[in-house]
Structure 1
């Protein structure tokens, strides 16, 4: 457990035949362990599987130990037998543990500095980034800095054994006298800096930007109908950050490309990905109600395709929606593919119409 962090791990119980998740003390419930919300009494070692019958919540058993007002919320957690118990790392977007996400939890974060973003940007080489960083911290080994640290520079100026001797007093005595190299002299006071400005000085010092030209590739996007005996489902979810309104859009077509149903609906979703998952879950419920058994699902959200193909584990807050979808898919013969937004224009327009 990461110190100073409250419950960074989320346990999502899946495989009920070998369920090792404790009901009261493991963080399988969205709001944290039940022991921190409800008085558990003496039931500290009971497992989740005790309250399940045939893969579903047993309300009668829950009513024996759980306050009535909490039973509906517990029963809303979907049950799946598709895989084993899954630990989900709450601090990362993909649910996987990483040292980067753990460090982000315990580090003391400060307000980001725009200048440092420029210094460490991808357009600069590491050598130049380190140089600018040292310049900002006044760690460049110029004459004045070395003299302030007690380093003798007799070969540069025999008139100035005292490190506190200021360059301006030397220059005022004689224009031809040797000056002491300083950061101000390089970037502000030097004739080159005054004549040409900082950009030219940077160029004369070898500072340059590495410009990356993006390569553009043309792809042909074509929508194709399903095979005979199949239906094709194009779905999309949308959410406007300005109004916090989310909506879903769907269109189901037969193998002859004729529309069977087109529909849009407003929903409650905290993010665009959550809206996409809610759209698919709702669409699959409709497909099952209409007794379609073969469905080709096409999405323009590539991240959803990766989640459903188990390539990515997904954020812990999406696990309930994913389980509902997997439960629905287990009753169907299906295929899931990605298509660019240009090929999903109808579902996209329906979702935006709902927003």
Structure 2
């Protein structure tokens, strides 16, 4: 029942003048229609955070002997021309490897999931053993921490990422706000613009 309602609301909202990328508009539209439902899907902002958490979020290097991979996806619309970006650093903040790559038409969530897989493969090729993985999409990070994800569109990609993660001696998955993930974001946007960096 809820899936049918979502589909109807999406069709009604698509007739409007607002683009798909304007998520605050879509969120408000959807929230207005869910009041009478018993268990509405999660639509809206994340948990309430202390004032300034997002504004003070900065990228930090990993501990000595560890490496950090930041990954991101960028979309020119959702579906739109997408790109992925990954940036691997050591504890001295030196860039060990980085990648930007266009991936064609995808959703934003799939682009970010593809960036994770690409980043893990890049780390394996670089001989990394202890790895901190940072990304700004909570569904991906939480799925990797739990070892499973309940999203059929991302399932195959994240299962691939889970299998790749087993190749490292130690691996930690952390969520970071987009403000602290800017290095991977820049590379992903370059990929969405058709630029390859390897």
Cα gap change, 1:222/1:327 in structure 2, threshold over 3 Å: closer, same or farther?
same
Structure with greater proportional strand content: 2
Once the two structures are TM-superposed, the CA of residue 243 in structure 1 deviates from its matched residue by: 8.0
Once the two structures are TM-superposed, the CA of residue 121 in structure 1 deviates from its matched residue by: 3.9
Residues 297 and 335 in structure 1, CA contact (< 8 A), matched pair in contact too: yes
Q: How does 1:262-273 map to 2 (within 5 A)?
A: 262-273=98-109
The structure whose Rg is larger is 1
Cα gap change, 1:243/1:276 in structure 2, threshold over 3 Å: closer, same or farther?
closer
Once the two structures are TM-superposed, the CA of residue 316 in structure 1 deviates from its matched residue by: 1.1
Residues 248 and 354 in structure 1, CA contact (< 8 A), matched pair in contact too: yes
Asked if residue 231 in structure 1 is aligned to residue 67 in structure 2, the reply is yes
Distance 1:327 1:222 in 2: 29
Runs (4+) off by over 3 Å: 108-114
**Partner residue of 1:255 out of 68, 78, 91:** 91
Bigger shift: residues 220-229 or 312-321: 312-321
Once the two structures are TM-superposed, the CA of residue 290 in structure 1 deviates from its matched residue by: 1.7
Once the two structures are TM-superposed, the CA of residue 283 in structure 1 deviates from its matched residue by: 1.1
Asked if residue 346 in structure 1 is aligned to residue 183 in structure 2, the reply is yes
Aligned residue-pair number: 161
Residues 248 and 267 in structure 1, CA contact (< 8 A), matched pair in contact too: yes
Residues 239 and 247 in structure 1, CA contact (< 8 A), matched pair in contact too: yes
Q: How does 1:1-355 map to 2 (within 5 A)?
A: 100-101=2-3, 104=4, 121=32, 217-219=51-53, 220-241=56-77, 244-310=80-146, 313-332=149-168, 333-355=170-192
Distance 1:279 1:294 in 2: 19
Residues 81 and 106 in structure 2, CA contact (< 8 A), matched pair in contact too: no
Which of the pair has the greater relative contact order for Cα pairs under 8 Å at 6+ separation? 2
SS at match of 1:314: coil
Cα gap change, 1:230/1:269 in structure 2, threshold over 3 Å: closer, same or farther?
farther
1:81-119 deviation line (CA, Å, top 9, x unaligned):
xxxxxxxxxxxxxxxxxx634xx28xx9698599xx99x
Instruction: Give the structure-2-normalised TM-score.
Output: 0.69
Distance 2:50 2:61 in 1: 28
Distance 1:326 1:242 in 2: 25
Once the two structures are TM-superposed, the CA of residue 269 in structure 1 deviates from its matched residue by: 4.9
The answer for unaligned runs of 5 or more in structure 1 is 1-98, 127-213
How well do the aligned residues superpose, as a CA RMSD in angstroms?
3.4
Residues 221 and 343 in structure 1, CA contact (< 8 A), matched pair in contact too: yes
Instruction: Give the structure-1-normalised TM-score.
Output: 0.40
Distance 2:32 2:125 in 1: 53
Aligned to 1:144: none
SS at match of 2:158: helix
